[in-house]
Amino acid sequence: MSEQQQEQRHARRRVSGSYWVETAPGPPPRPALTEDLDVDVAVIGAGVAGLSTAYELTRAGLGVAVLEARRVAQGVTGHTTAKLTALHTLIYDKLRRTRDAQAARLYARSQSEAIERAAELVDELEIDCDWEPRSAYTFVRDASRVEEVRAEADAAREAGLPAKFVTETGLPFPVAGAVRVADQAQFHPRKYLLALTADLLERGGRLYEGTLVRGLTEGEPCRVTTQTGATVRARHVVVATHYPVFDRALLFARLSPRRELVVAGPVDTGQDPEGMYITPEENTRSVRTAPYGEDGQRLLIVTGEHFTPGTGDTPARFDHLSAWAREHFPGVDLTLSWATQDIDPTDTVPMVGPLHPGARNTYVATGFGGWGLSGGMMAGRLLTALITGRDCPWQELYDPRRLRTAVRQAPTFLKTQAEVARHFVGDRLRPAPPVESVPPGEGAVVRAGTDRLAVYRDEAGTLHPLSARCTHLGCLVAFNSAERAWECPCHGSRFGIDGEVLQGPATRPLERREL
């Protein structure tokens, strides 16, 4: 490989960082928790679900502490495409078929009220977060799928959304059909959540960053232990870590991780499709724009190419997504790229409520399936109702303890578990390359005697050997060269090149090894 080819390869594989994080860096880090603490509620995780829950609980008069392993809203929430809508691709017809029309109505109402609550807070707190009303579209280009879209439009309208079937959109290419729902919104999620955090702190809420939670003992009170050695005693605990770091109801078996790529770049206002779009075709394509710069340009944001973490060629997927964006939006200079991670439940609906069948004081919010903004805001309202003893019309819909719908979705459940088993066993049987074959800037799982090591070679040629066993449940990790991270294909844990935890459910780093 020539020097120029190597430079091109290294240039294309590196992500540049999330637009939301880069344009809203926020205040300096909050101190980690170093002393024991007593509160009414401990919320684990400071993404949209955790912060929305903490904020609503604080306004309800409870003493709340938020424990965040890294930084506020810099994880999954900081890497979203930031569409705030109740139109979640093709969910309403599926809910109507697999549950009933009432479930679809409750889903639509719960998501819509979450969006209305966000709009209220933007006005009340005067949050400058690029809030823009937009219509949301689910479209298809394949004529054979038009009936799916018609059915979705009917089901969404029956569920209470202002949904219409249309054949004309603002996209620069024809569609065979689309569902359109008006009066939805798009915004800057970090600006919104940083403002919410500031008001939370003013109201007496507490926030600790750099505080990784490692243990939970249920009781009265519950005890949450951290890697700093400090313990939080709380009457209630909410686990809002995207993928739960504690599994006491076989949640791991009912969730599957999905990674998705994002490319973005400025376009002229004439190229703005003036809406929020998504299609299940072509391995998912999502399109929206955001305000950009001072010369009237817009930032085009294109998402897609979803895949299981730790599988396949991520740089090639970025290339494929970029080519699609340039084909349909000629002249766009894709200056930004990042990735996000979603958690799909086997039965379509997020899991928000008691952590397990015997839980009295512990709760979870997970499985938002790519719609974590409205879902996380909904979770904040639902969990606040449960903790404060109020009824919520949709608490049964989202209850993680549901079994009837889980049984109905048994084929999806079994497929998910078969995939996990395939990786757990099959990845150990694959031939492993010699460590000498790992080039600078790359990583690979190599064999060292009877062990498997995850080895990264930096640009200077120094090797960084780690155990290849994920510290969650022992699957072998794989290297993502675009993001320079080790990823577990079983449950989505992610680690840095030196083994540090980037994303759970793992709570402990990969063990360091010697070659």
- C-alpha distances in Å from residue 35, one per residue of 57, 200, 331: 23, 21, 54
Q: Radius of gyration over alpha carbons of the chain, in Å?
A: 22
41, 235 Cβ separation under 8 angstroms = yes
Amino acid at 265: G
- Tell me the residue length of the chain: 515
The reported pLDDT for the residue numbered 10 is: 40
Rounded Cα gap, residues 453 and 11, in angstroms:
26
Cα angle 436, 438, 440 (rounded to 5 degrees) comes to 115
Rounded Cα gap, residues 427 and 448, in angstroms:
15
Closest CA to 94 of 274, 349, 320, 338: 349
Rounded Cα gap, residues 362 and 354, in angstroms:
6
In a structure prediction context, what are the per-residue pLDDT tens digits for the chain, which is 515 residues long?
A: 344 343 344 444 456 789 999 999 889 999 999 999 999 999 999 999 999 999 999 999 999 999 999 999 888 888 998 999 999 999 999 999 999 999 999 999 999 999 999 999 999 999 999 999 999 999 999 999 999 999 999 999 999 999 999 999 999 999 999 999 999 999 999 999 999 999 999 999 999 999 999 999 999 999 999 999 999 999 999 999 988 888 766 777 788 899 999 999 999 999 999 999 999 999 999 999 999 977 778 999 999 998 888 887 889 999 999 999 999 999 999 999 999 999 999 888 999 999 998 899 999 999 999 899 999 999 999 999 999 999 999 999 999 998 765 555 556 555 555 655 555 454 555 667 777 878 898 888 888 776 789 888 988 888 889 988 999 888 899 899 888 999 998 888 899 999 898 887 888 899 998 87
Closest CA to 136 of 187, 80, 86, 79: 86
Identify the structural domains of the chain with CATH numbers, from first to last: 134-184+257-345 (3.30.9.10), 423-503 (2.102.10.10)
Structure tokens that stand for 483 in this block: 């993001």
Rounded Cα gap, residues 420 and 505, in angstroms:
15
pTM of the model: 0.90
Rounded Cα gap, residues 477 and 480, in angstroms:
10
Pairing of strands 463-467, 451-457: antiparallel
